[in-house]
A and B are shown apart, each in its own frame.
Chain A
Amino acid sequence: MSFHPQMEYAPAKFHKSARTLADEGPAFAYTPENQAKFDANIARYPAEERKSAVLYALYLAQGQQGYLTAAAMSHVAQQIGCTAAEVEDVVSYYSMFFTKPVGTYVLNVCRTLSCALRGAERLTEEISAALGIKPGETDSTGTFTLIEVECLGACDRAPVVMVNDDWHERLAPEQVRPFIEDVRTRGRAAFTGCHLHKETKA
């Protein structure tokens, strides 16, 4: 019930507090390569503060499996030396961890003010229409996932789309269909990347 005199509490659309546990998933353990990376990273923190490495450990697990399952979180908890609940607490807070499978390319469209002023919402509509999916969904081929995200910090190159760990800048709504085809054929090479990064490499 609502404690506010005039507004109903948490309508179905917003702020669901439903507690959903991640799928158990197949058995999970780091590859020897990831194990080595984890062991190197945890040395950055004081020996009794192993939990500081939890975000890094989760990135490794997500990189290995594509998304995070309960089995993966248990493995991370074991590595860190904390409970699985503590790991899930962290996973459920941060927006860059997925607990459901995602497409090969996750299109994170920035929708905050500076990008919105330059047409970000039209961009999302175009991508939605081109792929036949709503924000938050993955297309039937498992190639693309569309997500609306908040400010990516590149407001001068609006609208910005983060694709996995890469960036694609100044994507006009009219360019969406050719862009998606380009990604299908050329993969990562289709992204502009960060303009600063590129010019530095030049």
Chain B
Amino acid sequence: MAYEPILTSHIDEPGSSTLEFYLQRRRGYEGLRKALTLKPNDIIEQVKASGLRGRGGAGFPTGLKWQFVLKDTPKPKYICCNADESEPGTFKDHVLMERNPHLLIEGCAISSYAIGAKVAYIYIRGEFYHVQEILEAEIEKAYKAGYLGKNILGSGFDCDVFMHRGAGAYEAGEETALIESLEGKRAQPRIKPPFPAVAGLYQCPTAVNNVETLCNVPLIVLNGPEWFTAIGPEKNGGPKLFCVSGHVKRPGVYEASMDTTLRELIYDHAGGMLDDRPLKAIIPGGSSVPLLLPDQLDAPASFDGVQKAGSLLGSAGLIVLDDTVCMVWLAMNLLHFYRHESCGKCTPCREGTNWLFQLLGRIESGEGQSKDLDLLFGVSNNIVGKTLCAFGDAAATPVISTMNLFRAEYEAHVREGRCTLPAEWRAKHPVLVGH
């Protein structure tokens, strides 16, 4: 059965981002209209029954997250939409915000109603200025049409949605760091507990949800949780966006259910390998997850399926690697990223990412010694689990994973004093110029 896109329906048609298009073609704001006739707690129950899992990376059940939001408090409550899409290999929220912005706006309004918030902030990364312009314009239209603001659709419910522009920090995608950044500070994570559900933005109860997660909410309210669970395998229900990039013929965002296999995503949706080269490995969920080898291609691209295969679905950013890629180079490229983006709060991560990068540079340039390989593990294991947020684990993962799967390549670098891949392959991926 062919899969009909839901989140990304009609995105190729002109004017798909406008309010008129949303109302006429996508049953726009019917979910909100229905939600406002229900009790807030019923919406949370529906989202729980749907089994919607957070699309930002952790896959935590959204309904549960909302249930934890403190109810009996005189303080205001907040929804923070995480639109700080920065995980390398991930570019799905970008498409949703650009082509279907009202779905997100509607999702923000319903979620606010469900947890009792009156304000939702959409924290968008600074580099997405062109997306922000569209969202700001569409939010204004939603206000004029009465879907936001005071007494929405005559229900007595008030809700404001505001954009907040970040300024270039990967760490701001971590929920407590996002809150810090929204409060006008450095984007550094907080110690947990207390969780944002108890003391988040301005120390008030807060739910932080990814763009794609919030976009699913109006659909669940409108069509019911059974409709949602019927799409895809058990516990991994609902439409899902997959980002495929790297060595494929048609990189892009593809919507599918989560019983789709990794093979189908690469060879059907993305058109197969670039230049028909052999597949060496894939990173299935953004740069922070372990690599998978081609023998795992038939694993379903679901949270549980990818985990069973030995990795994580994360943000569903598939980076496809052909046989020309040197794994030491790959680890070094990613550690350059993590070294730059480490927020500097926890010592193991701040110092460790730099050590790992230097060690990888030494091995990559042919000056590595065999004891450096053990040192890579030693430093990595001193980062994992020893930091406030998941960044530390994420930063060590490319090293640990490539060392586990491709140790022979590391050893060859040390033994031969150079990369042993053919020179013309290496020319495609030169060593970093700028450092």
Q: How many A-B residue pairs have CB under 8 A?
A: 193
What's the minimum C-beta distance from A199 to chain B, rounded to whole angstroms?
Answer: 7
A196 within 8 A of B: yes
CA distance A142 to B435 in the complex (A): 23
Point out the residues of chain A lying under 8 angstroms from B237, CB to CB: none
What's the minimum C-beta distance from A3 to chain B, rounded to whole angstroms?
Answer: 8
Interface locus among A21-29, A31-39, A53-61, A178-186: A53-61
Contact between B334 and A194 (Cβ–Cβ < 8 Å)? no
Point out the residues of chain A lying under 8 angstroms from B287, CB to CB: 112-113, 151
29 A-B pairs with C-beta separation under 8 A? A44-B164, A46-B202, A54-B184, A55-B126, A59-B167, A89-B186, A90-B185, A93-B186, A94-B168, A96-B126, A111-B434, A113-B88, A113-B319, A117-B246, A119-B428, A128-B433, A134-B434, A148-B434, A151-B337, A153-B86, A153-B125, A153-B128, A165-B130, A166-B130, A193-B130, A194-B98, A194-B130, A196-B98, A201-B14
Known contacts A90-B184, A90-B185, A196-B99, A153 near B319 by CB under 8 Å = no
A116-141 CB contact bits vs B (8 Å, 1 = yes)? Answer: 11110110110010000011100000
- Closest A residue to B128 by beta carbon equals A153
Point out the residues of chain B lying under 8 angstroms from A121, CB to CB: 429-433
From the candidates A52, A111, A124, A155, name the one contacting B243 in the complex (CB within 8 A).
A155
CA distance A149 to B168 in the complex (A): 9
Known contacts A113-B88, A165-B129, A193-B130, A200 near B99 by CB under 8 Å = yes
CA distance A53 to B337 in the complex (A): 28
Q: Can you list the 10 inter-chain pairs with the closest CB atoms, starting with the nearest?
A: A51-B184, A135-B434, A155-B245, A95-B168, A94-B167, A96-B168, A156-B251, A54-B184, A114-B245, A165-B129
Point out the residues of chain A lying under 8 angstroms from B430, CB to CB: 121-122, 125
Point out the residues of chain A lying under 8 angstroms from B336, CB to CB: 111, 150
Known: A96-B126, A112-B88, A167-B130. 13 other contacts (CB 8 A): A7-B358, A10-B354, A44-B162, A89-B185, A118-B246, A150-B341, A156-B251, A156-B253, A162-B127, A165-B130, A193-B130, A197-B98, A202-B14
- Closest A residue to B185 by beta carbon equals A90
Which of chain B's residues 200-232 have a Cβ closer than 8 Å to chain A? 202
Q: Which residues of B contact A (CB under 8 A)?
A: 12, 14-17, 76, 85-91, 94-95, 98-99, 125-131, 134, 160, 162, 164-170, 181-187, 202, 243-247, 251-253, 283, 287, 317, 319, 321, 325, 330, 333-334, 336-337, 340-341, 343, 351, 354-355, 357-359, 375, 428-435
Contact between B186 and A90 (Cβ–Cβ < 8 Å)? yes
Point out the residues of chain B lying under 8 angstroms from A156, CB to CB: 91, 243-245, 251-253
CA distance A199 to B351 in the complex (A): 44
What's the minimum C-beta distance from B184 to chain A, rounded to whole angstroms?
Answer: 3
CA distance A96 to B162 in the complex (A): 21
A149-163 CB contact bits vs B (8 Å, 1 = yes)? Answer: 111111111100010
A19 within 8 A of B: no
CA distance A53 to B8 in the complex (A): 33
What's the minimum C-beta distance from B20 to chain A, rounded to whole angstroms?
Answer: 14
From the candidates A117, A151, A166, name the one contacting B247 in the complex (CB within 8 A).
A117
Known contacts A116-B429, A156-B251, A58 near B167 by CB under 8 Å = yes
CA distance A116 to B432 in the complex (A): 9
Contact between A150 and B337 (Cβ–Cβ < 8 Å)? yes
CA distance A35 to B255 in the complex (A): 43
Contact between B182 and A52 (Cβ–Cβ < 8 Å)? yes
From the candidates B185, B431, B434, name the one contacting A51 in the complex (CB within 8 A).
B185
- Closest B residue to A134 by beta carbon equals B434
What's the minimum C-beta distance from A193 to chain B, rounded to whole angstroms?
Answer: 7
- The CB with the most chain A CB atoms within 10 A, among B252, B283, B358, is that of B358
A4 within 8 A of B: yes
Point out the residues of chain B lying under 8 angstroms from A13, CB to CB: 435
Point out the residues of chain B lying under 8 angstroms from A200, CB to CB: 14-17, 98-99, 134
Known contacts A52-B183, A162-B127, A155 near B358 by CB under 8 Å = no
CA distance A4 to B383 in the complex (A): 14
CA distance A113 to B183 in the complex (A): 31
A100 within 8 A of B: no
A67 within 8 A of B: no
Contact between B95 and A124 (Cβ–Cβ < 8 Å)? no
Point out the residues of chain A lying under 8 angstroms from B183, CB to CB: 49, 51-52
Contact between B434 and A124 (Cβ–Cβ < 8 Å)? yes
Point out the residues of chain B lying under 8 angstroms from A111, CB to CB: 333, 336, 432, 434
- Closest B residue to A154 by beta carbon equals B91
Point out the residues of chain A lying under 8 angstroms from B130, CB to CB: 165-167, 193-194, 197
CA distance A4 to B252 in the complex (A): 43
